[in-house]
């Protein structure tokens, strides 16, 4: 048997830090191994593996990929230190990832749910509004405890973003999802879709760029996390330029949200809304971008808050252990403390998944 000796600090969460730890049999322990083992010492700042809570494994610009490409995507994420992914919707059944010890742990949301012609082609399960409760329940049984709703998209007749579902439809759908023991997250750019989601009992909000101060206050009070996806929001200026001629109202809205993207994240943080870190990889964005997303967020809020959100706080929200005694040794080691220098996330010294050093 071989063991790793981690000479820390070993950061477990906001309040627990150890001087050292060991990895034995794929598990973390804070007791020196008693049996005779070959020990390799690795020094640096140790944190629980990073978590991308908005990632699309098995998706590219044309829709669903094959399993081989999906595995490559997940491997790129792993090598960047992302060892836990909440997949926020994919046309591909990615449950095969669960059987791959070399790939990050995956929590699947099954397939996006949208309306016909109200989302990107080939991505979603497209349904009529009256079907939402039944389909949401079905997708809840297909995923790993999550579903993904598309709550708004451009309505070409209206020339702007509009909600896809009524509050009543959302309320019935989320009631069925929760009864099935699952949770729901929702894509939303607009202001208009937020109230219905909050009233219906949404569990997480993706992007949330249109949230008003009043809506932010409700999310803070209800402890509903928001995933800002700043790398995706950076594309809003281009979306605005593309739609300027045909959809001027949409373009004006998208440009305004782009211009205040950092202020928006700061407003969420200052109000006490739980923030999580997600790249929106897949589709138009590449994988392995979590360090870059974290650095973008640290433009608006303290680096220490971003690191916590990207690691142990996200794990707690998803119900996955950190680096407690006996937990799976899923961890990343850095030469410097990323809470002090967020840029170090881009250059991990070592990546350990299920107790095995993969980088």
**pLDDT tens digit sequence for 269-282:** 999 999 999 999 99
% of the chain with per-residue pLDDT over 70: 100
Q: Calculate the alpha carbon distances from 287 to 154, 175, 231, 281 in Å.
A: 26, 33, 12, 5
* CA atoms of 293 and 80, how far apart (whole Å): 12
Q: Residue range 335-355: average pLDDT?
A: 98
Distance CA 205, CA 198 (A): 9
Return the closest-CA partner of residue 149 out of 297, 220, 166, 273.
166
- Which residues make Cβ contacts (< 8 Å) with residue 48, sequence separation at least 6? 11, 12, 311, 312, 315, 322, 323, 330, 331, 332
Report the distance separating Cα 282 and Cα 359, nearest Å. 23
Percentage above 90 pLDDT, the chain: 96
Identify the CA nearest to 311 among candidates 290, 325, 295, 297.
290
Q: What is the mean pLDDT of residues 114-121?
A: 96
Mean pLDDT of 321-340: 98
- On the 0-12 / 13-18 / 19+ scale of CB atoms within 10 A, 52 is buried
Predicted confidence (pLDDT) at residue 227 exceeds the cutoff of 80:
yes
Burial class (CB in 10 A: 0-12, 13-18, 19+), 67: middle
Residue 178 predicted with pLDDT over 80: yes
Which of the four pLDDT bands, split at 50, 70 and 90, describes residue 312? Answer: very high
Q: Which two tokens stand for residue 237?
A: 């200026």
Q: For all residues of the chain together, what is the average pLDDT? A: 97
* DSSP SS3 for 261: helix
Query: pLDDT band for position 155 (50/70/90)?
Result: very high
Distance from C-alpha of 154 to C-alpha of 242, rounded to nearest angstrom:
13
pLDDT of the residue at 75: 98
pLDDT band at residue 82 using 50, 70 and 90 as cut-offs: very high
Which residues, at least 6 apart from 284, have a Cβ–Cβ distance to it below 8 Å? 61, 235
Domains and CATH numbers, the chain: 2-47+321-357 (2.30.40.10), 49-318 (3.20.20.140)
DSSP summary character for residue 95: G
Give residue 96's pLDDT: 98
Residue 35, pLDDT > 90, answer no
Which pLDDT score, from 0 to 100, does residue 8 have?
Answer: 85
Residue 348's pLDDT band (cuts 50, 70, 90): very high
Eight-state DSSP code of residue 282: E
Q: What was the pLDDT predicted at 2?
A: 82
Q: pLDDT band for 37, please (50, 70, 90 cuts).
A: confident
How many Å apart are CA 344 and CA 15, to the nearest integer? 22
Cα-trace Rg, the chain: 20
Mean pLDDT (whole number) for 21-34: 95
CB 102 within 8 A of CB 353: yes
pLDDT of 1 strictly over 80: no
């Amino acid at each position: 048997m071989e063991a790793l000796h981690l000479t820390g600090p070993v950061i477990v969460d906001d309040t627990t830090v150890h001087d050292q730890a060991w990895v034995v049999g794929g598990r973390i322990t804070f007791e020196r191994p008693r049996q005779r083992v070959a020990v390799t010492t690795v020094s640096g700042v140790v944190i629980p593996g990073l978590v991308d809570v908005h990632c699309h494994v098995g998706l590219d610009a044309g829709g669903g990929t094959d399993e081989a490409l999906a595995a490559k995507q997940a491997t790129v994420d792993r090598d960047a230190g992302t060892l836990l992914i909440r997949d926020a919707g994919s046309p591909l059944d990615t449950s095969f990832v669960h059987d791959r010890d070399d790939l990050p742990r995956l929590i699947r949301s099954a397939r996006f749910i949208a309306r016909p012609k109200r989302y990107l082609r080939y991505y979603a399960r497209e349904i009529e509004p009256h079907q939402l409760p039944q389909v949401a329940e079905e997708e809840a049984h297909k995923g790993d405890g999550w579903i993904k709703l598309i709550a708004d998209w451009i309505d070409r007749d209206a020339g702007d973003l509009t909600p896809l579902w009524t509050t009543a439809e959302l309320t019935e759908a989320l009631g069925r999802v929760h009864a099935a023991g699952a949770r729901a997250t929702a894509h939303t750019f607009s202001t208009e879709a937020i109230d219905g989601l909050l009233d219906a009992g949404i569990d997480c909000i993706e992007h949330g760029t249109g949230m008003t101060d009043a809506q932010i206050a409700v999310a803070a009070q209800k402890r509903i996390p928001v995933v800002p996806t700043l790398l995706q929001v950076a594309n809003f200026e281009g979306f605005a330029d593309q739609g300027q001629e045909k959809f001027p109202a949409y373009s004006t809205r998208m440009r305004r949200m782009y211009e205040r993207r950092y202020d928006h994240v700061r407003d969420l943080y200052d109000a006490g809304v739980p923030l999580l870190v997600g790249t929106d990889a897949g589709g138009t964005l590449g994988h392995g971008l979590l360090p870059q997303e974290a650095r973008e967020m640290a433009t608006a809020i303290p680096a220490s808050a971003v690191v916590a959100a990207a690691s142990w706080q996200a794990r707690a929200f998803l119900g996955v252990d950190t680096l407690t005694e006996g937990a799976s040794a899923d961890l990343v080691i850095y030469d410097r403390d990323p809470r002090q220098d967020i840029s170090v996330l881009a250059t991990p010294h070592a990546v350990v998944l299920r107790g095995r050093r993969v980088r």
